[in-house]
């Protein structure tokens, strides 16, 4: 649904995907810029300035409780590098635990933006699928069904940041008024409506460290 400019979010009853954003996503996935991907396991944090996690429905399945993603996050922390997470990918920060801090979440004590629970696909009789754009014979996606989103990330973030941290879950966020937070080393954003602001903040922080 993230590549469909006509998609209307059934919870907030609004179109969330600008045509120009959908066009750019398809240019990336269909062109040569992303033609040579590597696995999380193969990625070495020493080769990069930041680890940046995109959001979307698949983040719950592919990223959030993925050991290799967590290793990249911990390596980024160790190397004092930027870590970004958008929408439900923020769950990866919740689940990633710091062995040097009593296995608390890596976002313990931080200000973090979370996807509002009031926006979650959750309720009676939900039958939720994870359709993927650009499937191939080698990457067919999944036919899994779930009764809505797998977990309420806002609630998890509120617990994970602890008493001295802050969870921002702004259900009024939109394209004109996006919600992004920067609390080194983390940049976090609400959802697709804040994706451009999220990317701009990441670029701004990286530029400031050169």
* C-beta of residue 92 within 8 angstroms of C-beta of residue 64: yes
* C-beta of residue 16 within 8 angstroms of C-beta of residue 173: no
Convert 116-148 to b/e letters by CB count within 10 Å (16 or more is b): bbebbebeeeeeeebebeeeeeeeeeeeeeeee
Closest by CA to 186, choosing from 59, 48, 81, 43, is 81
Report the predicted TM-score, pTM, of the whole model to 2 decimal places: 0.91
Pull the structure tokens for residue 165: 């941290």
Q: What is the predicted pLDDT for the residue at 102?
A: 97
Q: What is the predicted pLDDT for the residue at 1?
A: 66
Q: Provide Rg for the chain, Cα atoms.
A: 17
Question: CB atoms < 10 A from the CB of 30, how many?
Answer: 12
Q: What is the predicted pLDDT for the residue at 74?
A: 99
With the C-alpha atoms ordered 39, 69, 18, 33, is the resulting torsion angle positive or negative? negative
* C-beta of residue 1 within 8 angstroms of C-beta of residue 57: yes
Rounded to the nearest 5 degrees, what angle is found at the Cα of 46, between the Cα atoms of 42 and 47? Answer: 70
- CATH of 8-208, picked from 1.10.357.10, 3.40.50.880, 3.40.50.300, 3.40.640.10, is 3.40.50.880
Q: What is the predicted pLDDT for the residue at 98?
A: 98
* C-beta of residue 154 within 8 angstroms of C-beta of residue 116: yes
Q: What is the predicted pLDDT for the residue at 110?
A: 99
Spell out the residues 6+ positions from residue 95 whose beta carbon is closer than 8 angstroms to its own.
64, 65, 70, 105
- Per-residue pLDDT tens listing for the chain (210 residues): 678 889 888 888 888 888 998 999 899 988 999 888 899 999 999 999 999 999 888 899 999 999 999 999 999 999 999 999 999 999 999 999 999 999 999 999 999 999 999 999 888 888 888 887 778 888 788 888 888 889 999 999 999 999 999 999 999 999 999 999 999 999 999 999 999 999 999 999 999 998
Q: What is the predicted pLDDT for the residue at 117?
A: 96
Closest by CA to 150, choosing from 87, 57, 63, 78, is 57
Q: Please measure the distance between the N-terminal and C-terminal CA atoms of the chain and give it in whole angstroms.
A: 36
């Amino acid at each position: 649904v993230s590549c469909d400019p006509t998609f209307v979010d059934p919870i907030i009853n609004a179109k969330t995907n600008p045509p120009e954003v959908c066009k750019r996503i398809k240019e990336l996935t269909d062109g040569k810029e992303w033609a040579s991907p590597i696995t999380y396991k193969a990625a070495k944090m020493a080769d990069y300035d930041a680890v940046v996690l995109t959001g979307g429905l698949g983040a719950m399945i592919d990223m959030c409780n993925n050991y290799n993603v967590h290793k990249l996050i911990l390596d980024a922390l160790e190397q004092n590098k930027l870590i970004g997470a958008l929408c439900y990918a923020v769950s990866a920060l919740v689940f990633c635990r710091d062995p040097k801090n009593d296995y608390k979440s890596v976002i313990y004590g931080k200000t973090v933006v979370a996807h509002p629970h009031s926006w979650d696909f959750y309720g009676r009789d939900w039958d939720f699928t994870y359709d993927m754009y650009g499937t191939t014979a080698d990457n067919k996606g999944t036919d899994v069904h779930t009764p809505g989103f797998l977990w309420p990330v806002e609630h998890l973030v509120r617990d994970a940041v602890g008493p001295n941290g802050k969870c921002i879950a702004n259900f009024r966020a939109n394209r004109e008024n996006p919600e992004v937070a920067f609390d080194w080393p983390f940049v976090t954003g609400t959802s697709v409506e804040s994706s451009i602001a999220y990317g701009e903040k990441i670029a701004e922080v990286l530029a400031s460290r050169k």
